Amino acid sequence: MLTSGEHDGNTGAFAVATKDDRSEVAYVETAIRAITTDDPTDLSELARTLVALHSRPLTEDMSRELIRKVAQEKWT
């Protein structure tokens, strides 16, 4: 288990929606463009990411350090 706070959820925003017929669709933002997918493999990966996000919340200090690291990598 990573203790630095890095995991797949850090790669971009996404949302998973369940439609009236109980099928799912996901909206995923990437650095290049946003995509919508109903591919079972994609949905499975996003479900695993959601579990990781829910099971490994960062402490306040870890969140602050991760924000600093990402800001430095992206904007300096």
Summarize pLDDT for 11-64 with one digit per residue, the tens: 678 999 999 999 999 999 988 899 999 999 999 999 998 888 887 778 899 889
* Cα gap 50→47, rounded to integer Å: 5
Closest CA to 46 of 14, 4, 76: 14
Res 65 pLDDT > 80? yes
Please determine, for residue 8, whether its predicted confidence score (pLDDT) is greater than 80: no
Instruction: Supply the pLDDT for residue 15.
Output: 93
Extended beta strands in the chain, E state: 14-18, 24-29, 34-37
| pLDDT for res 52 | 81
pLDDT exceeds cutoff 50 at 1:
no
